[in-house]
Amino acid sequence: MADMTVRERAMDRAMGFGPIRIAIVFHSGYGHTARQAEAVAEGVRLVDGADAVLLPVEEVERSWAVLEAAPAIIFGAPTYVAGPSAAFKAFQESSSNAVMAKGYLWTNKIAAGFTNSGAMAGDKLATLIQMALFAAQHGMHWVSLDLPPANCSTLGSEQDLNRLGCWLGAAAQSNTDEGADRAPPEADRATARHLGRRVAQVTGQFVRGRETLSL
C-alpha cells in the first residue's frame, strides 16, 4: 500500500500531471496531534508528484494565500471536551472573513480530517463531524478514511490500522502520561499516513480530471 501502482504512475506521466501541494492545517496542544499531522504529511509524500505543507493554526493569519493555492486541505485538531480545541475553532471562525467573505475561495477543494485524544473513544467523532461540516460550508469535497474497522475481533490487535474504528477521518489515541516521542502509537500514525496518501491520490485524480476537461 505504500506506493502507487505502475498503472497510476503511467497515467501521471501520460497526462503531464504536475506536482500538487496539499496543506495540512492543525493545532496541537501537547505535541501528540502534531506528530499525527507529520504522519499525514508522510502519507501525502508517498504519492508521486504530491507534497505537503504543515501549517499550525498559529501561522494561518499570514498564510491564507497558501491555503487558497492548495487543491486540498487536511484539517487536524485534538479533541477537547467533545470537540475541536479552541485554537482550531478560532481558525475556523477566522475563515469566515478571510475566505467566505471574498467569494468562497475554497469551493471544490478536497478536504479531510484527523483528530487525537487521550481516551480511546473520547468523542472524537464529534470533532470529525464538525470538521466535515466546516468543509461543507466552504463547498469542499470531503474524503473519508476508506479503511474497515479493526481490532474488533479475536483476530484483531492494537497494531491494526484503524484500530479505533473510524470512517469519517483518521483517529488517534495518546496516553495522557506519555509525551509526543511515544504517543500516539505506530498503528495510529500508520492510519494517519493512509489518510494522507488517500487524499493525495484523490486530489491527483481530481486535478487530472479538471485539467483534462480544460483541454
The CATH number that applies at residue 182 is: 3.40.50.360
Position 161 in a domain: yes
- Domain range holding 173? 6-213
Position 158 in a domain: yes
Helix, strand, or coil here: 106? coil
pLDDT number for residue 18: 63
Cα separation, 9 vs 17, in Å, equals 10
Question: Cell 496518501 appears where?
Answer: 197
Question: Cell 504517543 appears where?
Answer: 183
Position 166 in a domain: yes
Position 139 in a domain: yes
C-alpha cell at 186: 505506530
Cα separation, 96 vs 101, in Å, equals 6
pLDDT number for residue 72: 98
Position 71 in a domain: yes
pLDDT number for residue 152: 83
Secondary element (H or E) of residue 80: strand 72-80
pLDDT number for residue 161: 93
Low-confidence stretches of the chain (pLDDT < 70) are: 1-18, 215
pLDDT number for residue 26: 98
pLDDT tens-place string over residues 76-125: 999 999 999 999 999 999 999 999 988 889 999 999 999 999 999 989 99
pLDDT number for residue 92: 97
Position 131 in a domain: yes
C-alpha cell at 192: 494517519
Position 177 in a domain: yes
Question: pTM of the predicted model, to two decimals?
Answer: 0.90
The answer to whether residues 71 and 47 touch, using CB atoms and an 8 Å cutoff, is: no
Position 1 in a domain: no
Q: How many domains does the chain have?
A: 1
